[in-house]
Structure 1
Amino acid sequence: MSTTTQPKLRLEHVTQQFPLRGTKEKFTAIDDISIDLAAGEFLVLVGPSGCGKSTLLDLLGGLEKATAGDIFIDGEPVSGPGLDRGIVFQQYALLPWRTARHNIEFGLEAKGLPKAERRERAEHYLELVGLQGFGDRYPHELSGGMKQRVAIARSLAFDPEVLLMDEPFAALDAQTRESLQDELLRIWKATGKTILFITHGIDEAIYLGQRVAVLTSRPGRVKTTVDIDIDRSGEDIRSTEEFRKYRHRIWTLLHGEVERAQVIEKEAAHV
């Protein structure tokens, strides 16, 4: 008798619409999105600007309720924010009056962990993200890359089932971005977390993802999902022929969507 493994994260026919102010019409941000993530999988969503990537993350985080469709974690419906999901945003979202260590402890306080255990766990995750010795620094004393490491550590510390990441490296310079991509892969392998990562960067999507889901321009739908099978042990993976083939394939899938998105934006500007 065959058994099917329940996905860690499941999106079933998820649609999100918003009312257009001053009219009876509705604006569809994302339409009929269905995705399954297995436990421990690293899936990247890539799409043109305005395709609803961040709207989707709001739904996954429980910050909004979908117009139609359902989202499940371990078979349980997502009905609001919860500690089963950790979210890392583009803009760090650290509390400026808290040190790096106390930012990491924030979610642990919500879980009711004793002070000594919170401190021990915060130190563990500071070390995991390469910031041992920086626990007493405040956000304004840290570089952009270090702030994002703290944000990642904070999201991992309360041990969420799924880590949701919304273009977390977009505001960083190219060298820091590539360094943190390597760090994230190392952390993912060390923790075995299920990660859904949103980006508009094709290279970043290929470098990080086991699968890359390509979204259409607005309304966002899953155009196709590409399995990524590359050897990440080499020195310069992005320069390999294998990597270039994936880049060309995903660029081709996205190219028409980007052009269509630009046309939609121009039309909207003239309404």
Structure 2
Amino acid sequence: MKIEFRQVTKEFAVRDSDRPFRALDGIDLGVREGEFLTLVGPSGCGKSTLLDLLTGLTAPTSGEIRIDGVPVEGPGLDRGIVFQQYALFPWRTALGNVEFGLEAKAVPRKERSALARRHLDLVGLGGFGDRYPHELSGGMRQRVAIARSLAFDPDVLLMDEPFAALDAQTRESLQEELLRIWEKTGKTIVFITHGIDEAVYLGQRVAVMSSRPGRVRQVIDVSFDSREGDLRADPRFGEYRHAIWTLLREEVASVA
């Protein structure tokens, strides 16, 4: 496995209480090399906490997370991150934003510029390198964020609801673009979403999380005979969607 969560639990101290808040409880989950894994779950189930642990920004209370067999002990350039909010530097152009991670790797300036332009081309923004974030649409800014994360060539791309703030048409367009990029680069992608349709459309497997404390309730394999045409019209799409919706409905009902 590329990524392994081994009995991972995460607790947070609660002000004026002796009892900690348990966000995640006994997470066991594996992600294969080059896999596109999506995660869905009820609000507050710990999806983003799980991703924070994988980035190394916070440590588990117990258990272990490994990438390529090595324990995660902090942030690293082997992981690229794309958030819901674009997190672009407003004083840098699109090209300058993409170059940022390459600067951290001490890539020479000439090579850095060429790599950044290549990745802007990859996300369909060739010719927009001199634009500042305020001169770009929301979808274009998210493309810059994806290009920035890909440019320094991480092994794993972590995405925390990156399309949630976009309109439906732009979101679907970027979903298609992301699949094209994934197929071209072969990156391992872990993608968090609230949308069941998005999870089924993008993921090779969908991990469904329980209500808090978050656990992996079930991992559903998603397979289609072909991705040509309107995938959402495929009868299997509806079957996968219904199975996930049923699991989530049960989780919400259990805490109502």
Per the normalisation by structure 2, the TM-score is 0.98
For residues 31-71 of structure 1, the C-alpha deviation after alignment (integer angstroms, 9 at most, x for no partner) is 11111111100001110100000111111111101101111
Unaligned runs of 5+ in 2: none
Question: 2:13 maps to what in 1?
Answer: 19
CA contact (8 A) 1:10 1:35 kept: yes
Equivalent residue for 2:248, pick from 229, 254, 269: 254
Which residue of the other structure, out of 66, 75, 83, is the alignment partner of 1:72? 66
Match of 2:50 in 1: 56
Q: What secondary structure is seen at the aligned counterpart in 2 of 1:121?
A: helix
Alignment of 1:165-180 (within 5 A): 165-180=159-174
Residue 89 of structure 2 corresponds to which residue in structure 1?
A: 95
Quote the RMSD (CA, aligned, Å).
0.9
Per-residue CA deviations over 1:109-163 (Å, capped at 9, x if unaligned) read 0000000010010011000000000001011111000010000000000011100
Specify the SS of the correspondent of 2:125: coil
Q: Which residue does the alignment assign to 1:115?
A: 109
CA shift for structure 1 position 259: 3.0
Correspondence list, 1:1-271, <5 A: 7-261=1-255, 263=256
SS across alignment from 2:115: helix
Q: Distance in 2 between matches of 1:12 and 1:232?
A: 34
CA distance in 2, matches of 1:233, 1:82: 34
**Aligned residue number for residue 4 of structure 1:** none
* CA shift digits 1:9-32 (9 cap, x unpaired): 111111100111111111100111
Query: 1:202 and 1:196 mapped to 2: Cα distance?
Result: 15
- Output the TM-score relative to the length of structure 1: 0.93
CA offset at residue 200 of structure 1? 1.0
CA distance in 2, matches of 1:165, 1:211: 15
Residue 177 of structure 1 aligns with an amino acid whose one-letter code is R
C-alpha separation in 2, matches of 1:134 and 1:232: 33
Aligned residue for 1:35, secondary structure, equals strand
Aligned length: 256
Q: Percent identity of the aligned residues?
A: 67
Quote how far apart the aligned CAs of 1:233 are. 2.6
How far has the Cα of 1:232 moved from its partner? 4.6
In structure 1, the gaps of 5 or more residues are 1-6, 264-271
Relative to structure 1, the CA distance from residue 94 to residue 232 in structure 2 (aligned partners, 3 Å threshold; closer, same or farther) is: farther
CA distance in 1, matches of 2:173, 2:34: 22
